[in-house]
Structure 1
Amino acid sequence: MFRFPAPRAAVAAACAALALLAAGGAQAALFEDDDARRAILELRQRFEAQRVDAQRQLDELRTENAQLRGSLLQLQMQIETLKQEIARQTGANEQLTRDLAELQRRTRDLASGVDERMRRFEPSKVTVDGKEFIADPQESQTFEAALAVFRKGDFAAAQVAFADFIKRYPQSGFRPTALFWLGNSQYANRDYRGAITNFRELLATAPDHPRAPESLLSIANCQIELKDAAGARRTLDQLVKTYPQSEAAGAAKERMARLR
């Protein structure tokens, strides 16, 4: 016949079974906690690795940024230096352009001055008393200066000036005219014999000169002043015969009429 176990034995058996079950559950829970810890540690390690890597990348970026800023600063400084150099070169080029323009102006002025000085010394055509000839500027100026003195009425100075001109330029185309005004200066200074000598010199060297008829008339005037009436009549007669169409010939006829 079947018998139920005694209560104590049953309870003991039940407790043993419960203890065994509890121990098995604790062991299982313990295993689960270790896995969780390992997972957490792995996550932490992975996160730390990612953080370190991110920090490294950030540091690299900061370094690159600093280097880039330094490079940009250097580039800006180089650009500014280049701008200054360009400005300096531009200023230098502008100054060079101004200097070149000034040099060209001075060169033109110098060339013009040289041309002007050359023209002052270059012989040119001159027409005096209807006669055309070549004379250098200094020669012309000396003659005109002497004539200006005569026109001012300073006959003594004019006599000296014309005598000096003839001495300095013995072959000058001005010579016949200079002899004529020299004779007139001497006449005004009452040097009648000296005047006759120079008027005759004009007639001997340039008988076809426009002043030749006046020179004969002036000789007759000098002879009249010297009380040489016969000589004056001969000179006036020569004038009428040699230059019959001249104005001086008409004046000579009137003088001869008075001399008679």
Structure 2
Amino acid sequence: MRLAPRFPALAVALAAALALPAAQAQLFADNDARRAILDLRKQVEDAARAQKALDAQLQEEITSLRRSLVDLNNQIETQRAEMATLRGSNEQLARELSELQRRQKDIAQGVEERIRKIEPQKVTLDGREFTAEVDEKRQYDEAVAQMRSADFPAAVAAFQAFLKRWPQSGYADTARYWLGNAQYGKRDYKEAIATFRAFVAAAPQHPRAPEALLAAANAQVEAKDTRAARATLDQLVKTYPQSEAAVAGRERLAALK
């Protein structure tokens, strides 16, 4: 009868004993989960810190790149400005150089013009080359211009003045030839004949000598001196048989006979 009360306590104790492992197992499971959660939380926090640090680094790099881009843009603008300045300077230098070259050319031309006015010049006339003074050439050219304009009295005066001033000129022989033609054009046949004769006598090898004899014969015909004209034409044909003037002289000679 005394053992009966013990059995319920024993039962309770037994039940508690049996329940203890299950509770401990549950407790252990909760601790593992908690530790896993804590580890996961720590990993998340570490990852967040790492991401934050990475973001800060990226932001710093972006800021640095932006500064670099700003500096680069400033450098580019500075270089553009410098290039524009250099381009402007180059254009200015080019203009100044062009102006300097133009002035130099003008000065050189001016010097050459002055030299031409004071220095003798080489002249080639009727197959001859000689040196003529500036005034000498100018006076001869003026006389020829009078001849070409058919102002025969002025041409006669101009050639006579030239020969008086420049008797030894390289132009002298040709000037006598044109003087004879001017006298012929003036119808001063006697003077023309004398001038042509003097020209041929002084320069028998001159390329215009045959023409001068033909012109002298024509002047003699105009002066009604046919006999003298035939003699002059004979001289032309015999002395310069291959000349064009000789061909015309033969025809004129045949007409006079």
TM-score tier, shorter chain, comes to: 0.5 to 0.7
Equivalent residue number for residue 8 of structure 2: none
Unmatched 5+ residue regions in structure 2?
1-98
Deviates more, 1:164-173 or 1:131-140: 131-140
Runs of 4+ in 1 over 4 A off after TM superposition: 105-112
Structure 1 residues 72-125: Cα deviation after superposition (integer angstroms, max 9, x where no partner): xxxxxxxxxxxxxxxxxxxxxxxxxxxxxx99x989866753442122221122
Equivalent residue number for residue 208 of structure 1: 205
- Secondary structure of residue in 1 paired with 2:250: helix
Match of 1:168 among 165, 181, 191: 165
Which aligned pairs between 1:131-142 and structure 2 lie closer than 5 A?
131-142=128-139
Equivalent residue number for residue 183 of structure 2: 186
Equivalent residue number for residue 158 of structure 1: 155
Equivalent residue number for residue 121 of structure 1: 118
1:144 corresponds to 2:159: no
- The aligned amino acid for 2:225 is D
Deviation at 1:145, TM superposition (A): 1.1
Equivalent residue number for residue 250 of structure 1: 247
Equivalent residue number for residue 98 of structure 1: none
1:223 corresponds to 2:220: yes
TM (norm. structure 2) is 0.57
- Residues of 1 paired with 2:104 and 2:230: CA distance? 66
1:195 corresponds to 2:219: no
- Secondary structure of residue in 1 paired with 2:207: coil
Which aligned pairs between 1:28-177 and structure 2 lie closer than 5 A?
113-177=110-174
Which one has a bigger Cα radius of gyration? Answer: 1
- Residues of 1 paired with 2:223 and 2:135: CA distance? 38
- Residues of 2 paired with 1:209 and 1:112: CA distance? 36
Aligned residues: 160
Equivalent residue number for residue 18 of structure 1: none
- Secondary structure of residue in 2 paired with 1:230: helix
Unmatched 5+ residue regions in structure 1?
1-101
Deviation at 1:218, TM superposition (A): 0.8
User: How has the CA–CA distance of structure 1 residues 108 and 245 changed in structure 2, closer, same or farther, with 3 Å as cutoff?
Assistant: closer
Deviation at 1:149, TM superposition (A): 1.1
Deviation at 1:220, TM superposition (A): 0.5
- Residues of 2 paired with 1:235 and 1:203: CA distance? 11
- Residues of 2 paired with 1:194 and 1:136: CA distance? 29
Deviation at 1:236, TM superposition (A): 0.2
